[in-house]
Every structure is written in structure tokens, then in C-alpha cells.
Structure 1
Amino acid sequence: MSKLKIFITFSLLLPVLASSNAKSYSADDVINFAKAYVEQNIEQPANGKIQVTPATIDPRITIKPCSVPLSANIPENYSSRNLNVKISCESSTPWQLFLPVKVETTVPVLVSNGKIAKGSILSNDNIRIEWHDLYRIRGEVIDEPSKVLGARTKRTLTAGAIITNKVICVVCKGETVTISAESDSFIIKTSGIALKNATFDEQVRVRNSRSGKVITAQVKSINQVVINL
């Protein structure tokens, strides 16, 4: 047999060899591949979790075998909740498909156990943690009950209401607070009366119970304010 005939015969065999080495993929294989890729490549919020739900693949779509590992890509400008994952076979007979994927991001938030009247003190009995969709939450949430135990509600809360800094006072008008004057070398503590409602890290005016002097201090924790000297 001449070299030409050998070359032609071998060339004709190449597609057959490639086809025999190709791996077949079911619709479930592709869906699971896309799900795993998104879970590994999308940012997860601190203290939160994500749930990835790919769409089903139309049974009329034929998924051809692929002789190389599948690859995936997430578009640069994608929605945080919905995206189209590009699944590709980069073999000598390439193919690609786009699979819609829903991403639900949830975070722990503090909510009311039941109806809480205005002015009530928050305790372990009337608050609990629930997981909520991050993109349906408005305002800065609180994710640790211990942070607000002893705080008061500034308005009536319905059952299941999300508790944010806006609906509570950590320091409440007319109540006694501890004033800490702090420097690098010492701390002096005294008591005072809060002249307005305030929450974490806010500035609040306080009247010193001993001197009668009004000062401005920063809210540190429940009924505690601090002045940095």
C-alpha cells in the first residue's frame, strides 16, 4: 500500500477514533455540572448561604458526546439572582448550550416571635433567627440576638417582623445610661440620662447625673455610651 493510501485511510479513521473516545452526557449530567460550577464560582455572603437551582433541559435538545471535558462560563454582567451558564464542548466537533440558573442567597436575620408592643424590652422569649432572601431585605439587619437583648422597641412590631437598628433604641430617651470616659491609660465611669433615642454607634446627647452637664457620646452597647479622651 502506498504512503498516500495509508495516509488517506488513517485520516478517514480519525473521526471514528475521536467518536469512540467521546463521552456521552445526559441532561442530568449537564445540569449537575452547571450547578457545581456556579456553587464554586459565585460569591457567597458572610454568614449567608446560597441555593443554586438550574432549569431543566428541553428533552427535544440532543446533547452530543464530547471527547474533552466540558467547560462552563458565567457572563461578566450577570444578575445576582438569575444567570445563564454557558456549557461548552471544545472538541473537534464543538457545541454549546445556555442553561438558566436561579441563585437564591439567604442570610440569618432577627425577627419577632410574635406581636411586640412599642416600648417592650427584647429578650430571648420574643425574638428568634430566621433565614431570609438577601435581596428582599431593606435596611441593616441584625443577626445575633445577644446584640439587642435589653433594647426597647420604638414601635409596635407584628409577628415575624424583621428587627433592624431603625426599630429599636439601644439607648432610650429618659433612661439611665452608663457613661465611660476612656483614654489609652484609664477609664472613668459615671451615670447619666439619655436625652434622645439612639442605636449602635450613633451620637447621643446625655446629661451627666452628677454635674448636670450635657455631653455628646457614642452608643457602645445597651444603655452604655462612651467618650474617647
Structure 2
Amino acid sequence: MEGTRHRASKSRAVVLLLALLATDGVLAVAAEARFEAAADIRTAAEAAARDRLADVPGQVTAQAEELDPRLQMPACEVPLAATVPPRPQLSSRLTAEVRCSGVRPWRLFVPVRVSVRQAVVVTAMPLERGKILAPGDVILADRELGLIGGGYLTSVEAVTGQVLRRAVPAGAALSPSLLEAPVLIRRGQAVTLQARAGALTVQAPAVARGDGALGQLIEVQNLSSKKLVQAIVQNEKIVEIQLP
């Protein structure tokens, strides 16, 4: 009889313990349900960062920073909204504003680290200032765009024939500010001044009064009239003015 009471008492204790454990689990789940999951907030921030960079060519990755575990935002009964404001330059760090527009609205600013990788033009070897670039001088290499200062270029053909403004080491990403068009006409050089009006073209001998690259406007002196005029460099020998 006493053994039976002991077993019954032990059974009640086990049931009570299971009930307490179940209650704790329910309370924990209920507590979690009252607050928005940090993972969902980070996911919304990362999606907003990728949307902001959707037009940027290359491979985009985004990773939101871990949230302070003490930060507990009320659970949102509607889908979270998130935006990233535009920036004038590509940056490796963005800030996403995550918002809840439910009955208990809130907003939270979440830092997001982004990486955009793309094949850009880099030097294949150390190059000196004034070097006229040939196809073998540069290659395409994968780079993280946010770490490149001053812009970048993506076409080897576009830089071929351009002149370096300063010396650069091997593996350096080339930017538009590092390049300039080669000088085709030098100061004092004899050139042909060409004037065009519709189908009519008139030419006269002239002398360049300054250096000029392709498409650049320079001053030349017409040797026939001795007048100074502004003309556009067409090639190594011809400059042209447009007549009305």
C-alpha cells in the first residue's frame, strides 16, 4: 500500500515537472511572439541594400550587422518595410531604415556592409607617367568597387591609346582622372586649317598656337590672313572650324 502511494506521488511529481517545463516553453514562445525577430529585421535591411544597388553592375552581397540582443522591437503584424537612401558614391557601408507600420509602429536604423565586385581595368605592370597605354599594359581583374577611389573603367579598348597622368604600380585600378588623351598637335606645328559650311570645304595653311588633343579646341593662326581663330583638332595635321 505504501509502495503504491509512493509510486503515485512520484508520478504526480513527474507530471507536475512536465507541466512546468511545458509552461516555461509556452511562456518563452509567447515572449518571443511579442517581439520582432532580429533575423527578420536584418533580412529586411539586407534586401533594401540589395535593392538600392540593383542598377550597379557586378556581384552584390549585403550583410547587416548583428543587433543588440537587448533591443526588443514589438512584433509587427504587417510585413516590415525597409529603405536605403541614395548616395552620390558607392560605399562599402550603408544604413537601412527598417519600419513597422502596424498598430504599434516603430523604425530602426540598421548598418549594412555591402560588397560589389566587378572586373575593372588594372595595370599589368608598373607604368611611368606619360606612358601611352597599349593592350598589353592593362588587364581586367576582379575588384571590390567600394574600395576603389576616384572611379574605375571596365573596357581595355577604352583606355588603349590614352596617356597616364602619373606613374602607377602594378595592379592599380585605372580611373578616368588618371588618363588623358594624347597630344596630336604641338605648339608651333604647321597644320591645315579647314573651314566647312555644308558641302563646301575651304582649306588654308596655319600654325598651331598651342598643344591639342583629339577633339580639343585650340588657337591657330591663319597664315594667309594672319588672323587668330579657334579650331577643333581633327587629327595630327588638320584643325577645323565650323562656319554658320
TM-score, length basis structure 2? 0.55
Following TM superposition, by how much is the alpha carbon of 1:61 offset from its aligned partner in structure 2, in angstroms?
Answer: 3.5
Could you tell me which of 62, 65, 85 is aligned with 2:96? 85
> Match of 1:67, as an amino acid?
E
State the 1:126 CA deviation. Answer: 0.4
CA positional deviation for 1:66: 2.5
The alignment partner of 1:68 has SS state of coil
How much does 1:155 deviate? 4.6
Code of the aligned partner of 2:125: G
Root-mean-square deviation (CA), in Å? 5.0
Tell me which residue corresponds to 1:170: 182
Post-superposition offset of 1:166: 5.4
Corresponding residue SS for 2:136: coil
| Structure 2: gaps (5+ residues) | 1-29
| Counterpart code for 1:171 | V
Equivalent of 2:217 in 203, 214, 227 = 203
SS at match of 1:65: coil
More helix by share: 2
Task: Give deviations 1:159-210, integer Å, cap 9, x for gaps.
Answer: 23425355434224549999775554366899998765545643235689xx
Aligned length: 207
CA distance in 2, matches of 1:42, 1:217: 43
Secondary structure of 1:158's counterpart equals coil
Distance 1:206 1:30, change over 3 A: same
Distance between the aligned counterparts of 2:61 and 2:227, measured in 1? 55
Corresponding position: 1:228 with 2:242: yes
| Larger mean Cα displacement after TM superposition, 60-69 or 32-41 | 60-69
In structure 2, do the counterparts of structure 1 residues 163 and 77 end up closer, same or farther at CA, with 3 Å as the change threshold? closer
Aligned to 2:139: 128
Q: Which amino acid aligns with 1:65?
A: A
**Preserved contact between residue 169 and residue 197 of structure 1 (Cα < 8 Å):** no
**Residues 101 and 114 (structure 1), Cα distance of their counterparts in 2 relative to 1, 3 Å cut:** same
Amino acid of the structure 2 residue aligned with 1:57:
L
SS for the counterpart of 1:125 is helix
Kindly state the Cα deviation for residue 146 of structure 1 after the two structures are TM-superposed: 2.5
Residue 149 of structure 2: aligned partner: 137
Distance 1:89 1:44, change over 3 A: same
Partner Cα distance (1:119, 1:99) in 2: 46
The equivalent of 1:36 in structure 2 is 47
Unaligned runs of 5+ in 1: 1-18
Separation in structure 2 between the aligned mates of residue 227 and residue 157 of structure 1, nearest angstrom: 37
String of CA shifts for 1:61-96, please: whole Å, max 9, x gaps: 445533211123446999974443232333334444
Q: Which has the larger radius of gyration?
A: 2
Aligned-residue sequence identity (percent) comes to: 24
The one-letter code of the counterpart of 1:120 is K
CA distance in 2, matches of 1:226, 1:49: 45
